[in-house]
Structure 1
Amino acid sequence: MKVFDEKHIKNVAFVGAHRAGKTTLSETMLFEAGLINRRGTVEQQNTVSDYHEFEHQRGASVFATPLHTEWRNYKINIIDTPGLDDFIGEIMSSIKVADTIVTVINAKHGADIGTEIIWNYIDRYHKPTLFVINKIDSENANFEMSFNSLKELVGNNAVMVQYPIKINGAQCIIDVLKMKCYKFGPEGGKPEKLPIPEDQIEQANTLHNELVEKAAENDEELMELFFENGTLNEDELKQGIKLGMLNHDIFPVFCVSALNDMGTGRLMGFIDNVAPAAADLKPEQTIEGDILEPKLNGDTSLFVFKNIYQPNLGQITFFKVMSGEVKANDKLFNTRTGESETLNQLYIMDGKQKHAVQKLTVGDIGATTKLKFTETNDTLASKAEAGTIKPIKFPQARLTKAVLAETASEEEKLSEALRRIHSQDLTVDLSYNNETHQTLVGTQGELHLATLSWLLENIYDVKAKFEAPKISYRETIQRSATANYRHKKQSGGSGQFGQVHLKIEPYYEGMPEPEGFSLRGKEVVDLPWDGKLVFYNCIVGGVIDQRYLPSIMKGILEVMESGPMTKSFIRDVRVMVYDGKMHPVDSNDISFKIAGAHAFKEAFLNANPKLLEPIEHMKLRVPDQMIGSVMTELQSRRAIIQGVEIEAHYQVLKCTIPSAELSGFSNQLRSLTQGRATYTSNFEGYNAVPTHIQKELIKATDLITT
């Protein structure tokens, strides 16, 4: 297979809303270039991109799929991405390694909500971007509406390069960069090149001049040429557009019918001749602060942006060559783990089809198999001390579920499958809660969760159940109380005897030492579940031997590990052991441990015990017109609004909300805002549970234990 240099490799990610036609466009490009001799369709489940069984079931892209095509001495690597933000991890990893983002818009819907959600991520990465308005020949297509909605989204930097017209019923495209009219037959394909019709010349000239002015703004020399000549020639115009795309100041807008192969060849020509290549982009900065130049003669450096697992092939690792070149059988070092990896084979992937190659040069995208120590976001380099490329920062999980295998014998198999899935998809959050003894899995939404479930069952052969996670409550007290307990047991031979008198009080940082006691010793225990136990020895006259005090504290700590109200951890209590009795023969450690535990439990129940619940601090980004309904929803979930700030057409709302109220919130927020609102949340602390809810929780615990 032909090897291309860094100036003749173009990496494009096709992004856009669900049903925009990204998969069809990529299929048509492969057909136009002669890489395939028959175009598949999503409906017939035979496209190169959507080859996965789960995608066939859903009738839409779920995974980002690398493809490639060759067009007029250029190699175009295409990554076809899903259109739903449940799969934002697939989209973000593709944006990371793309040189140009091709955002596809359905001409029937314009720049809709799905486009807006994805645009927010594109804009964050500041990547060169062009827009393609697809389905221009479909019923109810409205190019003008689509273009205007696009300008509302990205501003006046959206510049029309093409627009569609009909001439005697035939679909045509006016190109104001080349100032040509392309007329297509019913089957599409290669168009007839015609002069621009007279009734379109005025509009075409106006749009051409707008394009020239916008291009000239990006370079002083071009601006001087523009002032001197009143225009720019085609080459100068292309140079200005490329600079504008690199500066994120120009977003060229094209139009196509991907299904009927109209305009795709011209789009590929623009990607070849104008769209930036890897060599044009700003160099990558490593975590260590070094600059990684995309040079062919530099040290080899690969960035791993995606991993997938296939039963017949094992793990397939996708990478972009950031510097130098990589050859089959090269030995590279993982800069995260320090382990060496041998890339026994190199491939260019077209969906599930792999094409073996001997080497790949800087700027190219390829794949390899059977790496042992490499995961998504890793850097592979020819030198062990090489810099690590900055990783992709994936969004926080929005939906968390507890997961367990349907049969206990498969728990270990489930654990390994989840570990593999997480290593491939870093938007799947995996953790274990030591308090509730649950494995927790976080996803981007219900559809992402459904995909995870499908992968577990069909790829890893393990059936899993998902349920709401248990809430990690805490128990504490609100007032002081005293109690005593005598433990006495006689069953032949030495018996058991221990009596403990103690007082408990709520504990808070900086509180004064207890009054009315003779303080003989103090131990502060930092509890593993947060909070403190402060234990005072106040024994006078030796009524309890010093050696039994650790056993009393041990009994208290055991109760604190499973509180008497809901079996939750107890926190922030101080205990004064001030009196008791012992027996010269029958007293021992177990006796005082039991006595201490019972006395503490009795005192705790008499000290106005209170249940505490975990609280999250939440930050939401909500469209202006939807803020009212979102605030109402939050308040219905016991959230406390802390403030609202304005950010463009959005409002940033900050609040605290009980963790117990987050169940179903992600789906409800998506429903209320049509998917336009986003949020992040972080654990903040514990607050008291309202009395009526506390009663319900205690009752539920009693029912479980009985």
Structure 2
Amino acid sequence: MKVYKTEEIRNIALLGNAGSGKTTLAEAMLFEGGVISRRGEVTSKNTVSDYNQIEQDYGNSVFSTLLYTEFNGKKINIIDTPGMDELCGGVVSALSVTALGLLTINTTSGIEAGTEAAIRHASKAHTPLILVFNQLDHDNSNYENTLEECKNIFGGKTTIVQYPVDAGPNFSSIIDVLKMKMYKYSKDGKVEVLDIPDSEKDRADELHNELVEKAAENEEALMELYFDKGSLTEDEMRKGIKLGMLARSLYPVFCTTAKKGIGVARLMEFITNIAPAPYEKKLRPIIKGKEVKMDAADSPSLFVFKTSVEPHVGEITFFKVMSGTVKEGMDLVNSKSGNKERLSQVFVSAGKNREKVDELVAGDIGCTVKLKETKYNHTLSLKEAGTVFEPIQFPTPRHTVAVKAVNDSDDEKVGEVLNKIKYEDPTFVVEYSKELKQLLVHGQGEYHMNVLKWYFDTIHKIEVNYLAPRIPYRETITKPAQADYRHKKQSGGAGQFGEVHLIIEPYNEGAAPKSMFKFGDKEQKLSVRAVEEHKLSWGGKLVFANCIVGGSIDARFLPAILKGIMEKMEEGPLTGSYARDIIVYVYDGKMHPVDSNEISFKLAGRNAFSMAFKNAAPKILEPIYNLEVWVPSDRMGDAMSDLQGRRAMIMGMGSEHGMEKISAKVPLKEMNKYTTSLSSITGGRGVFAIAFDGYEKVPADVQDELLKAYEAEQEEE
């Protein structure tokens, strides 16, 4: 394979809803470019892109797949992405290294949930789009409805370059208003380029003039030419269209039936002539080290956007050459670890088929194998450059499960599998919660978790259960309380003795410790001698006040008392959850000259604190999240009803990007399986974002349920 120059490279991402024909379009593009000799089919499980077993089992793309084809003297790198938004990691990583998105739209279905998700991701990445109207030969194909839906979303940016002559089972001809020609396809896939028939001339002329105007609007010089001549040449139009695409002010519409190859070669011609070259899209920001240019003559650097593991191959590292020329056998430095990595082999990739090449230049995309520690989001560059590119920001998880091996002996294996999976799909976030005593996996939804389960069941043969994650409640108090506890143990030899008297009260930010408390008819005066403020890792504070006078407890035992209290803060008296925001005054106690020791006072302090806590009108706090939900207007009422059933407090409503937006505060406990519920309510079109807000007291009935559940759990143990 020849070495392509930077200006000869086009990097594109295939985007769209599952079933819109992305993988089939990729197959047709590889066929047109001569990379494959026959087109495979998704239903036959023989496509170049969906080659993983899970994709063949599921019948749709699960991971992004790097492909390439050659056309018109250019190399087109293609990344075929999954169509379900729960599998959005591949979409986000693909958009980070490509300069153009082909948004495939199934004209029998129009704009679907996955289409809307792809549009959002492309918008966030500032990626230009071509709208590819696909499956125009289907009985239920509707070009006009699909066009109208696109105009509702993109407005005047929707720009017709092609339209079908007869969409439906007889579809075989496309009018191209840039070329002002008709492309007629025979059953064997051959194309004739003909003059536009008289029956379509008026419509074609009108759309051509609209295209000329939209192209001219993108540069002042083109606008002047348009005013002078009343039209533009094809080259001038190409220039204006390209500028409009780069500014995302123009979205060209193309027509295809990818399964039959109709319209694919013309689309590829447009891509090679007009789509942005790698250097025409803004370079990924550099956050550290030497600035570089997307130039083959600059010092070499590459950015890793994906890692995967394949049987019999091992780990494969996919990268984009950001600057310079990357050659086989080159040594570069991982800017995160500072360690050297050797590119023993460099490949271009067409699915699982990889062709070894000697070098790749700036802007090209390839892969390598057997790197020691380089993962996604890592930068490789020369040691003296130290260049670090900004990492890809993957979407925040929206769904959490606790994973537990059916057989305890498989616990370690489960951890190993999850550690590998999170590198292949960074939208999985794995953590072991010491607080909840659960191994948690955070992802994008139930379907996403089903993909993970497939790997456990099919590849690793490990039985696991998904459990609802426990809720990280907090415990606190609402009024002062007093308690004392004597720990005494005598069993031969040295005994144990320690007595602690203490008062606790709620902590409020900025409040000073008190010197007087009243319980019933009795007053308790305190002399605060020293105050320690401990910021708790789980939120809130513990303030420890030493009020000992007259040496009733030796100062050397105070750290032990604090330790006992802190232990009980870590395992709250009500439900075993973390406690927070409490002031503890230790004001009296007793010692024994022989039997008093640290363990005695630790246990005395722990138990005195627990007793006081239960008498201080304790409350359980629950985590509250800020929730933003976007739903179609006709599903607004259903979405509101569902949220109210989840104890949500509606904070506001409005419209945004053609959807209705609901802002609310909702307890985390009520968000279990919300992704599935929202999808069901909105036909998959609803989306939401969630972020931690703070802790609030649970209602009395919920607290009673939690206390009973904890008591039952303790009895079982």
- Is the 8 Å Cα contact of residues 170 and 186 (structure 1) preserved in structure 2? no
Find the aligned partners of 1:461 and 1:530 in 2 and give their Cα distance: 40
- Please list, as runs of the form range in 1=range in 2, the aligned pairs for 1:90-489 lying within 5 A after superposition: 90-166=90-166, 171-187=172-188, 189-288=189-288, 292-460=292-460, 462-489=462-489
- Is the 8 Å Cα contact of residues 284 and 292 (structure 1) preserved in structure 2? no
Report the equivalent of 1:594: 603
Report the equivalent of 1:518: 527
* CA positional deviation for 1:416: 2.6
* Residue deviations 1:83-124 (CA, integer Å, cap 9, x gap): 111111101111221222111111112223321221111122
Find the aligned partners of 2:581 and 2:285 in 1 and give their Cα distance: 47
- Structure 1 residues 473 and 576: CA distance shift in structure 2, 3 A: same
* Residue deviations 1:115-150 (CA, integer Å, cap 9, x gap): 122111112222222111111111111111111211
- Is the 8 Å Cα contact of residues 153 and 658 (structure 2) preserved in structure 1? no
Report the equivalent of 1:568: 577
Q: Is 1:656 the equivalent of 2:682?
A: no
- Please list, as runs of the form range in 1=range in 2, the aligned pairs for 1:622-633 lying within 5 A after superposition: 622-633=631-642
Find the aligned partners of 2:391 and 2:570 in 1 and give their Cα distance: 40
Letter in 2 for 1:217: E
Report the equivalent of 2:499: 499
Letter in 1 for 2:700: T
- Structure 1 residues 608 and 70: CA distance shift in structure 2, 3 A: same
Letter in 2 for 1:318: F
* CA positional deviation for 1:411: 2.6
- Structure 1 residues 511 and 275: CA distance shift in structure 2, 3 A: closer
- Is the 8 Å Cα contact of residues 308 and 423 (structure 2) preserved in structure 1? no
- Please list, as runs of the form range in 1=range in 2, the aligned pairs for 1:63-82 lying within 5 A after superposition: 63-82=63-82
Report the equivalent of 2:623: 614
Letter in 2 for 1:604: F
Aligned to 1:144, the other structure's residue is in SS state helix
Letter in 2 for 1:544: I
- Is the 8 Å Cα contact of residues 501 and 580 (structure 1) preserved in structure 2? yes
| Structure 2 unaligned regions, length at least 5 | 517-524
- Is the 8 Å Cα contact of residues 446 and 673 (structure 2) preserved in structure 1? no
Find the aligned partners of 2:667 and 2:40 in 1 and give their Cα distance: 50
- Is the 8 Å Cα contact of residues 279 and 363 (structure 2) preserved in structure 1? yes
Aligned to 1:48, the other structure's residue is in SS state coil
- Is the 8 Å Cα contact of residues 375 and 424 (structure 1) preserved in structure 2? no
Find the aligned partners of 2:648 and 2:446 in 1 and give their Cα distance: 23
Find the aligned partners of 1:494 and 1:339 in 2 and give their Cα distance: 57
- Is the 8 Å Cα contact of residues 446 and 675 (structure 2) preserved in structure 1? no
* CA positional deviation for 1:377: 1.7
* Residue deviations 1:52-82 (CA, integer Å, cap 9, x gap): 1001111111111111111222211111111
Compute the RMSD of aligned alpha carbons.
Answer: 2.2
Find the aligned partners of 1:337 and 1:577 in 2 and give their Cα distance: 49
Find the aligned partners of 1:274 and 1:550 in 2 and give their Cα distance: 73
Moved more, 206-215 or 413-422: 413-422
Aligned to 1:630, the other structure's residue is in SS state helix
Aligned to 2:62, the other structure's residue is in SS state coil
Report the equivalent of 1:84: 84
* CA positional deviation for 1:215: 1.0
- Is the 8 Å Cα contact of residues 551 and 589 (structure 1) preserved in structure 2? yes
* Residue deviations 1:401-430 (CA, integer Å, cap 9, x gap): 112333333333322322222122221112
Find the aligned partners of 2:671 and 2:391 in 1 and give their Cα distance: 29
Corresponding residue to 2:709 among 693, 700, 706:
700
Aligned to 2:259, the other structure's residue is in SS state coil
- Structure 1 residues 39 and 511: CA distance shift in structure 2, 3 A: same
Give the % identical residues.
Answer: 47
Find the aligned partners of 2:146 and 2:601 in 1 and give their Cα distance: 79
- Is the 8 Å Cα contact of residues 179 and 234 (structure 2) preserved in structure 1? yes
Aligned to 1:485, the other structure's residue is in SS state strand
Aligned to 2:355, the other structure's residue is in SS state strand
Letter in 1 for 2:557: Y
- Structure 1 residues 112 and 604: CA distance shift in structure 2, 3 A: closer
Letter in 2 for 1:571: R
Find the aligned partners of 1:73 and 1:548 in 2 and give their Cα distance: 82
- Is the 8 Å Cα contact of residues 321 and 362 (structure 2) preserved in structure 1? yes
Moved more, 254-263 or 513-522: 513-522
* Residue deviations 1:470-497 (CA, integer Å, cap 9, x gap): 1122222222222233333333444333
Moved more, 663-672 or 381-390: 381-390
Moved more, 517-526 or 125-134: 517-526
Find the aligned partners of 2:587 and 2:651 in 1 and give their Cα distance: 45
- Is the 8 Å Cα contact of residues 10 and 276 (structure 2) preserved in structure 1? yes
- Structure 1 residues 71 and 406: CA distance shift in structure 2, 3 A: same
- Is the 8 Å Cα contact of residues 515 and 527 (structure 2) preserved in structure 1? no
Moved more, 124-133 or 573-582: 573-582
- Is the 8 Å Cα contact of residues 290 and 386 (structure 2) preserved in structure 1? no
Moved more, 233-242 or 347-356: 233-242
- Structure 1 residues 326 and 607: CA distance shift in structure 2, 3 A: same
Moved more, 328-337 or 527-536: 527-536
Find the aligned partners of 2:629 and 2:434 in 1 and give their Cα distance: 29
- Is the 8 Å Cα contact of residues 335 and 385 (structure 1) preserved in structure 2? no
- Structure 1 residues 264 and 481: CA distance shift in structure 2, 3 A: same
Moved more, 428-437 or 454-463: 454-463
- Is the 8 Å Cα contact of residues 311 and 459 (structure 1) preserved in structure 2? no
Find the aligned partners of 1:322 and 1:487 in 2 and give their Cα distance: 68
Aligned to 2:202, the other structure's residue is in SS state helix
Aligned to 2:118, the other structure's residue is in SS state helix
Find the aligned partners of 1:321 and 1:85 in 2 and give their Cα distance: 28
* CA positional deviation for 1:393: 1.4
* CA positional deviation for 1:570: 2.2
Letter in 2 for 1:211: L
- Structure 1 residues 315 and 296: CA distance shift in structure 2, 3 A: same
Letter in 2 for 1:264: V
* CA positional deviation for 1:304: 1.2
Find the aligned partners of 1:488 and 1:200 in 2 and give their Cα distance: 100
Find the aligned partners of 1:517 and 1:124 in 2 and give their Cα distance: 59
- Structure 1 residues 540 and 310: CA distance shift in structure 2, 3 A: same
| Structure 1 unaligned regions, length at least 5 | none
The normalised TM-score by structure 2 is: 0.93
- Is the 8 Å Cα contact of residues 284 and 291 (structure 1) preserved in structure 2? no
Aligned to 1:111, the other structure's residue is in SS state coil
Find the aligned partners of 1:128 and 1:77 in 2 and give their Cα distance: 16
Letter in 2 for 1:696: E
Find the aligned partners of 1:41 and 1:455 in 2 and give their Cα distance: 24
Find the aligned partners of 2:121 and 2:620 in 1 and give their Cα distance: 41
Q: Is 1:29 the equivalent of 2:24?
A: no
Find the aligned partners of 2:626 and 2:211 in 1 and give their Cα distance: 47
Find the aligned partners of 1:75 and 1:543 in 2 and give their Cα distance: 84
* CA positional deviation for 1:626: 3.9
Report the equivalent of 2:519: none
Moved more, 300-309 or 378-387: 378-387
Report the equivalent of 2:521: none
- Is the 8 Å Cα contact of residues 283 and 292 (structure 1) preserved in structure 2? no
- Structure 1 residues 72 and 552: CA distance shift in structure 2, 3 A: closer
* CA positional deviation for 1:384: 4.2
